Amino acid sequence: MTHDEIILQLRQQSAERLEQLWRQADQCRRQSVGDAVHLRGLVELSNHCSRRCSYCGISTHNADLTRYRMNADEVLQCARDAVRLGYGTVVLQAGEDPSLTTPWVSALIRRIKDETPLAVTLSLGERSDDELASVREAGADRYLLRFETSNRALFDRIHPPKAGQSSSDRVAILKRMRELGYEVGSGVMIGLPGQTWDDLARDLELFGELDLDMIGVGPWLPHPQTPLARQAAELMAPTEQQVPNTELMTYKVVALARLLCPRANIPSTTALATLNQQGGRELGLQRGANIVMPNLTPLKYRQLYEIYPAKSCLAEEPDVFDAALKARIQLIGRTVGAGRGDSPNISGRRSSGGHADSRKDEEMYRADTLLDAVQDQKERG
């Protein structure tokens, strides 16, 4: 797909053409990663943050917010919940909290690895090469760090550097993670004030260039306690250039990400479910996504991790949400994934020397696709 073709798809209005895009993305998802929807248990372990990102509700701008940090026992309890609910992965997410030191995070990962079979994904913001190497050594399998936008000027505007430091280079950090053997995930926000069609098409191209194993995208949702929400009107690009932060745009980006990176793991994100509480999550899964990240954060902390307002599932008990989610996955003709759900992308890359788990997963994935093909044949008679 050329840059101009991507823009054309992003700006597509024809209902018929869009149906075609959804069908293509769904077919590509089925052929490349199968019908299983893998579930990742999300633990938001601290809302402390040392950064001043102008879009984010837990940045230092938000002086009104009560801050919390979970202790290791609380996190372990969430990991046990993940195992009990049959999830293969726990995602440890937090603001850029300097108190989550490398020794503390490493000890936590070791405990999770000792006590559970879970894959561990980290989403702890920008970390130095040494820190990334140490936590990888402790057993972390994957790392999520969205580059947010490929437009450097826009990125610098919404993501001011730490005092006395130069602006961060998230693409370089992602490349470093790859060298360290992480499964690497990134993504962007859609409809940031000042984000143009050209920028968003470039974002999608960068997903492909980075050969991402995981891609998470969601609409920018204005949080009233942030500078970006207050200044949005002045920062908008000219109307014909500005990307809207809508549900429809999000599906288009999910579908195109699938077509450009067929074997990536792509979640149907909470931000999408926030825009359409009834059916957003399912529509994401039917238009390219293959992952859901149920929130396992203890309810007493959950409303304090408000990166954007009215976040979906603020008050939902993990067990209640889980039962409904699994039923909904089956209702749309999909299966609930078993095992760790490693990226088929990285299993391919690791073809020799990969550890036993990913080889087993790869075999299960092949069997899954084979069964799908047989089922297809039967249906066609």
Q: Is 111 in the site for ligand 5AD (CB under 6 A)?
A: no
Instruction: Find the shortest distance in angstroms from Cβ 146 to ligand 5AD.
Output: 4
Tell me whether residue 34 or residue 280 sits nearer to ligand 5AD (CB atom).
Answer: 280
Residue 239 Cα to chain centre, angstroms: 29
Tell me whether residue 218 or residue 280 sits nearer to ligand 5AD (CB atom).
Answer: 218
Q: Which residue blocks in 296-352 are alpha helix, DSSP H?
A: 299-302, 318-331, 344-349
**Residues from 338 through 377 that contact ligand 5AD (CB under 6 A):** none
# of chain residues touching ligand 5AD (CB under 6 A):
12
Q: What is the C-alpha to C-alpha distance for residues 151 and 195, in angstroms, rounded to an integer?
A: 8
**Residues from 269 through 298 that contact ligand 5AD (CB under 6 A):** 271
Distances (CA, A) of 338 to 85, 209, 242, 327: 11, 29, 41, 15
Q: Is 307 in the site for ligand 5AD (CB under 6 A)?
A: yes
Helix (H, G, I), strand (E, B) or coil at 224: coil
Tell me whether residue 266 or residue 271 sits nearer to ligand 5AD (CB atom).
Answer: 271
Distances (CA, A) of 339 to 82, 97, 192, 264: 12, 31, 36, 17
Q: Provide CB contacts within 8 A for 376, sequence distance 6+.
A: none
Q: Is 223 in the site for ligand 5AD (CB under 6 A)?
A: yes
Q: What are phi and psi of 186, to 5 degrees?
A: -150, -170
Q: What is the C-alpha to C-alpha distance for residues 23 and 169, in angstroms, rounded to an integer?
A: 36
Instruction: Find the shortest distance in angstroms from Cβ 24 to ligand 5AD.
Output: 26
Q: Is 206 in the site for ligand 5AD (CB under 6 A)?
A: no
Q: Which amino acid is at 269?
A: T
Buried b (16+ CB within 10 A) or exposed e, 198-234: bbbbbbbbbbeebebbbbbbbbbbbbebbbbbeebee
Closest CA to 249 of 223, 220, 212, 270: 220
Closest CA to 100 of 122, 85, 121: 122
Instruction: Find the shortest distance in angstroms from Cβ 269 to ligand 5AD.
Output: 9
Instruction: Find the shortest distance in angstroms from Cβ 183 to ligand 5AD.
Output: 17
Instruction: Find the shortest distance in angstroms from Cβ 218 to ligand 5AD.
Output: 5
Q: Is 170 in the site for ligand 5AD (CB under 6 A)?
A: no
Q: Which amino acid is at 145?
A: L
Tell me whether residue 311 or residue 340 sits nearer to ligand 5AD (CB atom).
Answer: 311
**Residues from 138 through 157 that contact ligand 5AD (CB under 6 A):** 146, 148
**Residues from 174 through 193 that contact ligand 5AD (CB under 6 A):** 189
Tell me whether residue 213 or residue 362 sits nearer to ligand 5AD (CB atom).
Answer: 213
The tokens of 364 are what? 């299960």
- Per CB under 6 A, the segment of 134-142, 170-178, 220-228, 340-348 that binds ligand 5AD is 220-228
Tell me whether residue 308 or residue 365 sits nearer to ligand 5AD (CB atom).
Answer: 308
* Percent helix, strand and coil across the chain, each to the nearest 5: 45, 15, 40
Tell me whether residue 227 or residue 262 sits nearer to ligand 5AD (CB atom).
Answer: 227
Q: Is 220 in the site for ligand 5AD (CB under 6 A)?
A: yes
Return the number of other C-beta atoms located less than 10 Å from residue 152's C-beta.
11
Give me the 34-73 binding string for ligand 5AD, x by CB under 6 A, dash otherwise.
---------------------xx-----------------
Tell me whether residue 310 or residue 324 sits nearer to ligand 5AD (CB atom).
Answer: 310
Tell me whether residue 310 or residue 323 sits nearer to ligand 5AD (CB atom).
Answer: 310
Contact residues for ligand 5AD, defined by CB under 6 A = 55-56, 146, 148, 189, 218, 220-221, 223, 271, 307-308
